[in-house]
Amino acid sequence: MKKKLVNAVLLAAVSATVMAGCGTVNVNINNTEEVETNEEEDLEGEDMSDLDAANNVAGLIDAIYVQERTEDTDAQCKAAKEAWDALTDEQKELVEGEFADPDYFGRDTGDASLDDPLNADDIGENEILVISFGTSFNDSRTNDIGGIEKAIAKANPDWSVRRALTSQIIINHVQARDDEKIDNVTQALDRAVANGVKNLVIQPTHLMHGAEYDEMMETVSGYVSDFESVKVAEPLLGEVGTDATVINEDKERVANLVTEEAAGIAGYDDVKAAVEEGIAFVFLGHGTSHTASITYDQMQTQMSELGYDNVFIGTVEGEPEGTDCEAIIDKVSESGYKKIILRPLMVVAGDHANNDMAGEDEDSWKSMMEASGKFESIECQIEGLGRIEGIEELYAEHVAAAFETEPLTASAEEEAEVSGNGVSDNEVKDADAESEVSENEAADVKEDENETGKETELKDGTYEAKFDTDSSMFHVNEALNGMGTLTVKDGEMVIHVSLAGDGIKNLYAGLAEDAAKEGAELLSPTEDEVTYEDGTKEIVCGFDIPVPALDTEFDVAIIGKKGVWYDHKVSVASPEK
């Protein structure tokens, strides 16, 4: 058979624009690749029209698969769904883009009408805002997130419970596919302000003080002055702690609840009862490069402390180290277990649970475990933590505990802005307490004191010195135990400190009122890499700060992302050569 080359259109470059109001869509498709085909299989005009129609939808899906809401989002979501609905079944199978595929609109994830987006107005003066990452799987959003929201509402009948999601990508997906509109965090806070809410309590459904929590706190910090009181409850697993051995009551309770639930579904009284049949339980979290990733190691420690030796903690991202699929396969196999029950250690059973864990693709955990040839069977429980009654009760208890805490203040607003991390006040205090270096333990490198007891100047050189501040958030990074590098030259002293995050944009040696004046000499940050005890690394900001005297408080002013200067008192002490 004679062969010839034809151009097959690829989705390597798709640009889509939506004309709001009329739904008109212009899609430009370029990039072509030559492929070899039989002459009678050459694409005809009708076939190319099918592909063009599919590519048009793919471009529209890619356009709303973004983490930023714009004034065009509503029109884009509507246009994408209308274009999808206009496709034939055959054309729908051709939809393929950077993020687009037939499952975006075509997968059945449950009845969206059963889900309540909790975005009604006229709600009174007291609001509990439940903030979740979210999921486009309708059944999971209804049962997992919705289950938590209902439990909190039941425990607090005098408060209105409302919802916000942090993932705009998910919000757009649900809106385009199901016409269900869910507030993002900014929209929810604006709605609360417009409704005249005075007292706001925020309950994040996040597992830990991780990156999503940090971003949430940064947004919330800009609204503190809009309410009489703003309080933030703990995420599910409570405080992070400093190393893999640190566990708490929240982690213990979650460990017991999820193992009890998993064992019950599998037909056992508890997970220990499954040991004799060679069954291991693998709980799969998301994973993160954030310093809070140590939480997963802590949960593994917690399982061991409870005697659940056939329970293993893994992560989709493989962070922290040793939680990737290959490592878990080796750990389970070397422990002698021949059967595995996989279950998400996630609030929702969404895309990660259905695809990354239990999917049929070769890179899913289920597929990779089967391909290893080391196990007799792999079973999956596709249920989120949010539908476990005890987990719902724990979130409600976190809300109750938040009622008893001090509200965020202007100072806390500033700290949330500039910290760059989500470490709780209690955790900071714990870390500070552990990093305290007593005067007796610190080496005395000061010059001999004269007869009046006054210190003489330090000799030129480099020293390690303690850097103290008046803030629980503006402080030396926890990885450095409160210490900075003090350089002395010709009687002048400068200390370099690496801070807790990257939110501080400039620093001024003096008062805020002077920093704002024209011609003020502002200190610019450096990019510092810090390494934590678990081996993870992070880029944070650092500063070289002039030190007028040791053991004496002096003024510095800092400015964060909102462009407001704040005064602080700092001191430098205990220099060690």
- Residue 562 pLDDT class (50, 70, 90 cuts): low
For domain 112-236+392-408, the CATH architecture is: 3-Layer(aba) Sandwich (3.40)
**Tens of pLDDT, residues 194-212:** 999 999 999 999 999 998 9
Contact 522/515 with Cβ under 8 angstroms? Answer: yes
In this structure, of 9-18, 83-92, 544-553, the range with the lowest mean pLDDT score is 9-18
Contact by Cβ (8 Å): 366, 339 = no
CA distance 44 to 48: 6
- Matching fold, domains 250-346+350-383 and 427-576: no
Q: At what angle do helices 45-64 and 73-85 cross, to 10 degrees?
A: 150
pLDDT digits (tens, 9 = 90+) for 299-327: 999 999 999 999 999 999 999 999 999 99
Nearest C-alpha neighbor of 391 from the set 257, 217, 534, 576: 257
Degrees, nearest 5: CA angle 380-383-389? 140
* pLDDT-based confidence at residue 565 (cuts at 50, 70, 90): confident
- Of residues 423 and 534, more confidently modeled: 534
Integer Cα distance of 92 and 100 in angstroms = 11
Per-domain residue ranges of the chain: 3-106, 112-236+392-408, 250-346+350-383, 427-576
Q: Mean pLDDT score of the chain, rounded to an integer?
A: 85
> Residue 165's pLDDT is what?
97
CA 283, chain centre distance (Å): 19
d(CA 154, CA 128): 12
User: What are residue 512's phi and psi, to 5 degrees?
Assistant: -60, -40
**DSSP per residue over 209-270, as a string?**
SSHHHHHHHHHHHTTGGGSSEEEE---TT----SSTT---HHHHHHHHHHHHHHHHHHT-SS
User: Sorting pLDDT into bands at 50, 70 and 90, what band is 82?
Assistant: very high
Contact criterion met (CB below 8 Å) for 185 and 166: yes
pLDDT one-digit tens code per residue, 520-555: 999 999 999 988 776 778 888 999 999 999 999 999
Q: Is the dihedral of CA 542, 546, 548, 554 positive or negative?
A: negative
Count the residues in the chain: 577
| Sign of the four-CA dihedral 125, 128, 134, 136 | negative
d(CA 105, CA 84): 8
Which of 126-130, 183-187, 428-432 has the least mean pLDDT?
428-432
How far does CA 158 lie from the centroid of its chain? 30
Question: For domain 250-346+350-383, which architecture applies?
Answer: 3-Layer(aba) Sandwich (3.40)
pLDDT for 191 equals: 97
| Alpha helices, DSSP H, located in 388-449 | 389-403, 410-419, 425-435
pLDDT interval class at 491 (50, 70, 90): confident
Is residue 32's pLDDT more than 80? no
- The whole-number average pLDDT for the span 9-28 is 37
Q: What is the pLDDT of residues 3-12, one digit of tens each?
A: 322 233 333 3
Residue 46, Cβ density class (10 Å: 0-12 exposed, 13-18 middle, ≥19 buried): exposed
The domain made up of 427-576 has a fold known as Immunoglobulin-like (2.60.40)
Closest CA to 544 of 490, 512, 507: 507
Whether the predicted pLDDT of 264 surpasses 90: yes
Distance CA 5, CA 403 (A): 70
pLDDT at 512: 87
Mean pLDDT of all residues in 467-481: 80
- Mean pLDDT, residues 331-336: 96
Alpha-carbon distance of 180 to 77, in angstroms, equals: 11
- What dihedral angle (degrees, nearest 10) is formed by the CA atoms of 421, 426, 431, 435? 130
* pTM for this prediction: 0.66
Percentage with pLDDT > 90 across the chain: 71
Given this model, what pLDDT does residue 439 score? Answer: 39
On the question of pLDDT at 448 being above 50, the answer is no
For residues 254-265, average pLDDT: 97
What mean pLDDT comes out for the span 426-433?
42
CA dist., res. 131 & res. 205, Å (int): 6
Residue 481: predicted pLDDT: 86
